[in-house]
Amino acid sequence: MSEQSSTFVAKSTVKAADREHRRKINFNIARYNAVVPQGKTQFTDVPLARERAKNVKWKAIETLDKQLELFESTLTKRGGKVLWAETADEALQQILTICKDKNCSTIVKSKSMVTEELHLNKFLNKHNIESVETDLGEYIQQLDDEPPYHIVTPAMHKSKEDVAKLFAEKLGTPSSLNPSQLTLVARQKLREKYRQAQIGITGANFIVADTGAIALTENEGNGRLSCAYPKTHIVIVGIEKVIPTLTDLGLFWPLLATYGTGQKVTVYNSIVSGPRQPGETDGPEEMYVILLDNGRTNILMNPTSRESLYCIRCGACLNACPVYKNIGGHAYGTTYSGPIGSVITPHLKEMDEWKHLSYASSLCGNCTEVCAVKINLHELLLENRAEAVKKNHASFVEKMAWVFWKKAMRNRGMMNMGSGRLKGWMVNTFVKDWKKHRSELEFPEKSFNQLWKERNGKKVK
């Protein structure tokens, strides 16, 4: 068992038994489940909208090189600068170079899972650059020195009382503040940071190839401020976020809003196509877009797993997953949790170290059922398992266990050998992990063949 696997088992064991944690998660996900059907009413045919979105992403990923080159050439014509980063370290060094060039001491950052993937805040702090999260959920998590718990809702695992207590400890506010008052406190603190920041960093929900633009979706306005208020705007985005045309946003924005938060459309939707142009009064003086690979081409090379690159990060699969709802986001130990995280993480990192995530699933298929772009997530989890075996990442004991299991399952005589009590003793003795959280297995004294023979008087081969 790898170190990551051991940690996952330990963390998930604790969280699965934490009833208060489960209460908070079920409360927040129940609110999500209540509003999603309302968002879906804007579509005359929801399955068709999802199918069309999948087809658009299929086209984008199958022609990814051409789409990214078109994006780069179009954005460059408007004064933007495109940088390519093959690894996380390369992206971090590019950001640091820009920061040093601008004599930057403070950065404001909007919500971005890619920056979490890079561990950007810790990296900048090591170089004496303050990086401030401006999304309220991310700001709460930063104050608590925790990573995001959920792709869309970073502080989903915290109640309003938890946040009030955290603000009291970190900011010195009264512990009796309600959510509206807490939001005003955060707003006051963050507004000052916008005035201080030399650089704003954002991610991008979509890269629009034909217009050389990035599209941002948010509900607080902090993303728009982060990219427009400071003199320099840095965008860090995974190469898979590309869509071919601007008109595709007419499909993807409503889908993302509905499946992400249950809204028909999010409050702020911005299209940023470069730095401030001549005659414009607002916007940054410089704009950099860092196109990040960091293992994504590993997925691209696999014809089967390539489908996972269609993901628009709506988080619907997390909210639907019975495993996620029991163990929470932090137990996964990686940036992307839930079903989509279990699919892509072994490819973005090391299969041997992270293959256990693909087994952390009931394979109920609910993730596939709710996916906004119809990714066959439960099938991709099985594909990961198969790939791990093909690459010889299974232990000798596991291999031998499956050899004997296969042999027994294909031989009725072997399955009928021994009494039910003997079978129970063998399984309960040698399959040790089964009894950690379950009662012992009890096998019937008579096999199906014996019962059939007694009832029908016939011998079954």
Domain residue limits, the chain = 42-294, 303-390, 397-456
Indicate the pTM of the whole model.
0.90
Q: What is the pLDDT of residues 243-287, one digit of tens each?
A: 999 999 999 999 999 999 999 999 999 999 999 999 998 899 999
Among residues 179, 190, 75, which one has the least CA distance to residue 130?
190
Q: What is the pLDDT of residues 42-60, one digit of tens each?
A: 999 999 999 999 999 999 9
Per DSSP, the residues of 28-72 read: HHHHHHHHHHHHHTT-S-HHHHHHHHHHHHHHHHHTHHHHHHHHH
Q: How far is CA 99 from CA 125, 271, 275, 293, in A?
A: 12, 24, 17, 21
Angle among Cα 359, 363, 366 to the nearest 5 degrees reads 130
The list of the chain residues with pLDDT below 70 reads: 1, 458-461
Structure tokens at 219: 């509900």
Q: CATH class for domain 303-390?
A: mainly alpha
Among positive and negative, which fits the CA dihedral 281, 282, 284, 287?
Answer: negative
Round to whole Å and give the CA distance between 336 and 84.
22
Residues 331-356 as b or e (16 or more Cβ within 10 Å = b): bbbbbbbbbbbbbbbbbbbebbebbb
| Fold match between domain 42-294 and domain 303-390 | no
Four-point Cα dihedral 51, 207, 310, 155, nearest 10: -110
| Confidence at residue 167, expressed as pLDDT on a 0 to 100 scale | 97
Residues 363-402 as b or e (16 or more Cβ within 10 Å = b): eeebbbebbbbbbbbbebbebbbebbeeeebbeeeeeeee
Strand pairing of 206-208 and 213-218? antiparallel
Beta bridge partners of 235: 202, 289
| Confidence at residue 458, expressed as pLDDT on a 0 to 100 scale | 62
| Confidence at residue 440, expressed as pLDDT on a 0 to 100 scale | 84
| Confidence at residue 315, expressed as pLDDT on a 0 to 100 scale | 96
Round to whole Å and give the CA distance between 30 and 315.
14
CATH number of 42-294: 3.40.50.10420
- The answer to whether the CB of 177 falls within 8 A of the CB of 171 is no
| Confidence at residue 461, expressed as pLDDT on a 0 to 100 scale | 54
φ/ψ of 291, rounded to 5, equals -90, 115
| Confidence at residue 396, expressed as pLDDT on a 0 to 100 scale | 80
Among residues 126, 164, 264, 151, which one has the least CA distance to residue 203?
151
φ/ψ of 13, rounded to 5, equals -65, -40
Structure tokens at 299: 């997925």
